[in-house]
Amino acid sequence: METERVPPGIDPTKAHPSRRYNYWLGGKDNFAADRESAAVVASAFPTVALSARENRAFLKRVVTHLAGEAGIDQFFDIGTGLPSAGNVHEVAQAIEPTSRIVYVDNDPVVLVHARALLTSHPAGKTAYIEADLRDPDAILRNTELRRTLDMSRPVALMLVATMHFITDDDDPYGILARLLSPLPSGSHLVMTHATNEHLTPEQYAANVEANERSGVPFRLRSREEFARFFDGLEILSPGITSVVEWRSEDPPEKPPSVEDVSMLCAVARVP
C-alpha cells in the first residue's frame, strides 16, 4: 500500500499487527513501517512468516470442524485481521450457509477493507465491529453483536493469533472471562498464541528485545500460561498442541517443525 493512498485517520508511520501479518502472509495491504517492524521481529525469529501461514491454515481447519462436526453456526471472531483467502464466514458458510459471523478488530485499515468481510451468503449474516479487545464491555454492548448473533445459542469465540498482543497490564485472563460470561453452554473457545516454550533463554531474550523494538506490544506465553486461558472449560481432543498438529488430516510429507512455528492452539467447549 503506497502512502499517497493512505485512507484518512490512518497513521502509516506506525506498525500495526494486522498489516504486519498481512505482509507475512504475502499480502499487499501494508506500509513501510509494517515491513520494517516485520524485519525486526524476523531478526530474532526468522520463521515468523511460516508461523503466520500455519496459523492461517489452522484457522481454516478449525472453522471447518466447528461448522461441520461440531454444528456451530455462530462465530464471534475478535482480531479478525485484513480480509484474506478463507475468511471465517467463507469457510463456515460453504458448510452451513445460514452461519452468522461477527468480526471485531481495532485497526482502522481493517475497517476500510471490511466490505470484503460483509459478503455474507444471503441465508446467513456477517457484521463488523471496530473495537478494542482491551475494552470487552464495549464489544459486548455493541448493538451489532446481538443483532447478528443469538446469544442464547452456542457461539464460537475466536481469538486466533490475537491474545499475544494483550500484555499482562491489560489483564488478558479477565478480558477472556468477560467475553465468555454471556456465552451459553455448548459454546466454544478457539485460541492460538505465540509461545516461548521452545526458545533457549538467549533466544527468548532476543525475541523480547526485538518485540520491544518492533513498535508492537507483544507477549510470548508459556504452555502453562496458555493453558490458564482454558480453566473451567472442556478442551477438545487433541488438547493443547502446536497449530501444525491440530487435526491435520492430510499433513505434508515434511510438516513444518513445531519449534519453527512456535504457535500453540486449543479448542474448548463451555460446559
Ligand X SMILES: C[S@@+](CC[C@H](N)C(=O)[O-])C[C@H]1O[C@@H](n2cnc3c(N)ncnc32)[C@H](O)[C@@H]1O
Q: With respect to ligand X, which residue has the nearer C-beta, 21 or 45?
A: 21
- In 10 A of CB 168, how many CB atoms? 10
Rounded least distance, CB 125 to ligand X, Å: 20
Rounded least distance, CB 21 to ligand X, Å: 4
> What is the Cα–Cα distance from 90 to 64, expressed in whole angstroms?
10
Rounded least distance, CB 105 to ligand X, Å: 5
> What is the Cα–Cα distance from 102 to 147, expressed in whole angstroms?
10
Binding site for ligand X (CB under 6 A): 17-18, 21, 55-56, 59, 79-81, 105-107, 110, 132-134, 160-162, 165
Q: With respect to ligand X, which residue has the nearer C-beta, 133 or 232?
A: 133
Rounded least distance, CB 49 to ligand X, Å: 12
Q: With respect to ligand X, which residue has the nearer C-beta, 161 or 183?
A: 161
User: Cell numbers 469465540 label which residue?
Assistant: 157
Q: With respect to ligand X, which residue has the nearer C-beta, 101 or 161?
A: 161
> What is the Cα–Cα distance from 192 to 86, expressed in whole angstroms?
17
- Using DSSP bridges, classify how beta strands 188-194 and 156-160 pair: parallel, antiparallel or unpaired: parallel
User: Cell numbers 460453504 label which residue?
Assistant: 94
Rounded least distance, CB 122 to ligand X, Å: 25
Q: Which grid coordinates are listed for 99?
A: 452461519
Q: With respect to ligand X, which residue has the nearer C-beta, 46 or 184?
A: 46
> What is the Cα–Cα distance from 160 to 99, expressed in whole angstroms?
19
Which DSSP category does 168 fall into? G
Q: What are phi and psi of 129, to 5 degrees?
A: -120, 125
Q: With respect to ligand X, which residue has the nearer C-beta, 165 or 246?
A: 165
Measured on CA atoms in the order 143, 148, 151, 157, is the torsion positive or negative?
negative
Rounded least distance, CB 202 to ligand X, Å: 26
11 burial level (CB within 10 Å; 0-12, 13-18, 19+)? exposed
Q: With respect to ligand X, which residue has the nearer C-beta, 81 or 256?
A: 81
> What is the Cα–Cα distance from 182 to 249, expressed in whole angstroms?
33
Rounded least distance, CB 123 to ligand X, Å: 24
